[in-house]
Amino acid sequence: MSKRLSHPSSSNFATLLQEFFVERLMQQRAVSPQTIASYRDTFRLFLQFAQTRLRKPPVDLALSDITVDLVLAFLRHLQDDRHNCARTRNARLVAIRSFLKYAALKDISALAVIQSTLAIPMKRFDRRLVGHLSRDEIEALLAAPDPNTWCGQRDRVLFATLYNTGARVSELIHLRVGDVVLGKAPCAHIHGKARKQRTVPLWRSTASQIKSWLQRNGASPDQMLFPNRSGNPMTRSNVTARLKLAVQTATRRCPQLSSHPVSPHVIRHSTGTHLLQSGVDLSVIALWLGHESPATTHMYVEANLAMKERALNALQPPHSKIPRYRPPDRLMQFLESL
């Protein structure tokens, strides 16, 4: 992206898109590589779609070509042809919106087209309840890896750290030896989304496991805490595959594990739920898990059926019978029926 695109018949669209990535995202906002990759993939798909629909190569596109009809057609293509869910559709729209807001500052002549496109709403979707494991299921899972093998030893420490910290799998696999402190107040320094860092306390048992793991491997501070056999960082698929093996073993001890899916994200949700059940304040859980929005943490309250049942038992039903509400007139009856 270091060279400017040029073409005899091109408008400023190609230049604007390049400036958006280099100047806006990388230099001014310093977004994470993951965000860059997500936005890049969005525009790869969008430009391919636009080329087919408008019969123009991407370099010949003009900003005025990015109409509301084109963007809506692209969003339908994502859902109907690529079978993307509403979340993915909305994420692609966010990337296009972000570029158009930047372009509006650079090219006033296309402002009318840009404004109509920016008015495209996000698509609503049903938010699923947060899935989580019970404490017995977590204990069975943590004890499942074989302690007599190198991979089993690593997996035991890996899963214990995952549950202790509630880290995202992308955060976990990038932890380095120097990111953990194993002194009197053991903790892990986690590098989270949007370059944000947080420090999470480690239980003594987790710190002891990490210490034993490091003594056996003699890793230096800049090496990965959980490497693969080649010494390189594990991938998401590596962690998911190792977790799947652990679940198969743990199911023999805890058969109920086979009744629901288990993923690194489910373990993260389990951490949040168990903290809540232990009486930890929501604001502390948000800091622990690295949530940007309090609404995200509030999902644990919505999903925690056990806490709801305890609250219901604490609230005794009144002895008096509540009269049935009746709308006062026909118009109110109509509104009530909607």
Query: pLDDT category, 152, cuts 50, 70, 90?
Result: very high
Q: Which long-range contacts (CB under 8 A, 24 or more apart) does 148-157 make?
A: 150/229, 151/229, 151/242, 153/213, 153/216, 154/213, 154/226, 154/227, 155/242, 155/246, 156/209, 157/209, 157/210, 157/213, 157/226
For the record, the structure tokens of 135 come out as 């404490």
pLDDT at 3: 44
**123 domain-assigned:** no
Let me know whether 95 and 192 are in one domain: no
Query: pLDDT category, 76, cuts 50, 70, 90?
Result: very high
pLDDT for 307 beyond 60: no
Let me know whether 237 and 292 are in one domain: yes
Average pLDDT, the chain: 84
Let me know whether 35 and 93 are in one domain: yes
**3 domain-assigned:** no
CB-CB contact of 154 with 213 (8 Å): yes
Query: pLDDT category, 322, cuts 50, 70, 90?
Result: low
Q: Please give the DSSP secondary-structure letter assigned to residue 156.
A: H
Give the residue numbers marked as catalytic.
Answer: 168, 193, 265, 268, 291, 300
CATH of the domain at 25: 1.10.150
C-alpha to C-alpha distance for 202 and 138, rounded to whole angstroms: 17
pLDDT for 143 beyond 80: yes
Helix (H, G, I), strand (E, B) or coil at 253: helix
Query: pLDDT category, 336, cuts 50, 70, 90?
Result: low
pLDDT at 277: 84
pLDDT at 321: 57
**334 domain-assigned:** no
Pick from 89-103, 122-136, 172-186, 188-202: least confident: 122-136
Helix (H, G, I), strand (E, B) or coil at 132: coil
Query: pLDDT category, 10, cuts 50, 70, 90?
Result: very low
What are the φ/ψ torsions at residue 198 (nearest 5 degrees)? -145, 155
Query: pLDDT category, 297, cuts 50, 70, 90?
Result: low
pLDDT at 2: 42
pLDDT tens per residue across span 101-141: 998 888 877 777 788 888 898 888 666 656 789 999 999 99
Let me know whether 79 and 179 are in one domain: no
Residue of higher predicted confidence among 2 and 16: 16
pLDDT for 338 beyond 90: no
C-alpha to C-alpha distance for 103 and 168, rounded to whole angstroms: 33
Let me know whether 210 and 240 are in one domain: yes
Element (H, E) at 309: helix 305-314
Query: pLDDT category, 276, cuts 50, 70, 90?
Result: confident
Pick from 70-74, 239-243, 246-250, 298-302: least confident: 298-302
pLDDT for 200 beyond 60: yes
Helix (H, G, I), strand (E, B) or coil at 66: coil
Residue of higher predicted confidence among 308 and 170: 170
Let me know whether 94 and 150 are in one domain: no
CB-CB contact of 25 with 35 (8 Å): yes
Let me know whether 270 and 305 are in one domain: yes
Let me know whether 165 and 255 are in one domain: yes
Identity of the residue numbered 162: L
Distance of CA 210 to the CA centre of its chain: 26
Q: Please give the DSSP secondary-structure letter assigned to residue 328.
A: S
Distance of CA 321 to the CA centre of its chain: 47
C-alpha to C-alpha distance for 212 and 157, rounded to whole angstroms: 9
What is the signed CA dihedral for 173, 174, 179, 183, rounded to 10 degrees? 10
Distance linking the first and last C-alpha atoms of the chain: 54
Let me know whether 229 and 103 are in one domain: no
- Only one residue has tokens 């996000």, namely 122
pTM of the model: 0.63
Let me know whether 53 and 106 are in one domain: yes
Let me know whether 259 and 196 are in one domain: yes
Determine how β-strand 180-181 pairs with β-strand 197-201. unpaired
pLDDT tens per residue across span 35-53: 898 999 999 999 999 999 9
Of 267, 271, 139, 145, nearest to 213 by C-alpha is 145
Relative orientation angle of helices 135-142 and 150-165, to the nearest 10 degrees? 150
Count other Cβ atoms within 10 Å, centred on residue 311: 10
pLDDT at 1: 43
pLDDT at 219: 75
CATH of the domain at 195: 1.10.443.10
Laid out side by side, the sheet with 187-191 consists of: 180-181, 187-191, 197-201
Q: Residue 52 sits in which domain range?
A: 13-118
Given 61, 83, 118, the domain boundary residue is 118
Distance of CA 21 to the CA centre of its chain: 22
Q: How many structural domains comprise the chain?
A: 2
- Only one residue has tokens 């953990």, namely 180
Let me know whether 184 and 96 are in one domain: no
Q: What average pLDDT score do residues 63-71 get?
A: 91
pLDDT tens per residue across span 231-248: 899 999 999 999 999 999
